[in-house]
Structure 1
Amino acid sequence: MAAASDRVFKLLVLPGDGIGPEIVRETLRVVDWTRNAGLRIELSEALAGGASIDATGAPIAEDVVQQALASDAVLFGAVGGPKWDHLPRAQRPEMGILRLRQALDLYANLRPAVCFDELLDASALKPELIRGLDILIVREATAGVYFSLPRANEVAPDGQRRAYDTQAYTEAEIARVCRTAFELARTRQRRVCSVDKA
């Protein structure tokens, strides 16, 4: 087996739209530092989101999804913007990242929230309520309201506009995100609070 320094890691870079290219550019400075320190990283770049819509007509091309599947990691910027807000839901930039989540089975979206004492005065919340805040939100990201059917935006017989979304999960989808939350809780404060949108 090759030593870690001999291995070449494949990193797919998807800058996306809006602030995406800017934050990706800064992140690549860190990647360059690791490369200078001896880590071998092969970079490739592709389009996602609005940039992909403009070039290909789709939020993400299938060959880019295949490229992501063949990579060791994907660096994803951000997608969307007013330019594409008029598009139908299935054609919007956000569908690019949702497609990637499904293809890569990225079911657990991890959102840490930490409040440092130095920033207490910058918050609109009372310092005594947020002092020491250190939570990690584990959100299911490949099922539920993202992908469940039926969903519609329609005009009812009485002329009123009506919209609905379905939020459905399988037992396995819930079990795996819960398992992830409990495993992460073991490394933190050993507590889990379950919250849903019901």
Structure 2
Amino acid sequence: MTTIEPFCGYGLGLRQPHYRDFLNGDVPVDFVEVISENFMVDGGLPLDVLDAVRTSHEVVLHGVSLSPGSAHGLNTAYLDRLAALVDRVQPLWVSDHLCWTRSSAHNSHDLLPLPMTAEALDVVCANVQRTQDRLRRPILLENPSSYMTFPEDEFAEWDFFAEVFAAPVASSCSTSTTFSSAPTTTTSPLRAISIPCRWIVFARSTWRDTCRVKS
């Protein structure tokens, strides 16, 4: 199984307005991040650009539709397309969000919060294991922004995440979502980043800023 390097440098999102800059070699970063779903296609300009950028930059894949918290399981067709993209670009790592987006055939196209329960924990771990088996590599899970809690919650948010990350899952903590979620979850941001998280991501809001990833 592919492993993840402990420090990969400084990266930047590869978005359409920035294609020309990257193709001209004018962006001095170590890697680019792309939204997985934008490149899970058979061909076209985005894939051509990504192939060209890969000659000078490493790539990381960040998804928004895996839905590891879905009680209906994973979408097999989606997982197959993701695996094909992983095989094509050989990314430094693959990531998504610790949330759910889909119920049966309906996709909300939103990062919906999970109930912090033992049942949800079992669902997440099973879906993540299936994903990692299919991709033949670990997957990073990013904490989403939480804008609500559930009366059925059995764990504090970060205790739930710690349970997930105690399984063979690579974890990723986004400081921006940690602080934005604090008023809703009443979890101290300092408590949140004290869990045994393998990666901390410091993200800025504009494309000219960089993202630092470290263990």
TM-score, length of structure 2 as denominator length: 0.27
Q: Which has the higher contact order (CA 8 A, sep 6+)?
A: 2
Greater Rg over alpha carbons, structure: 1
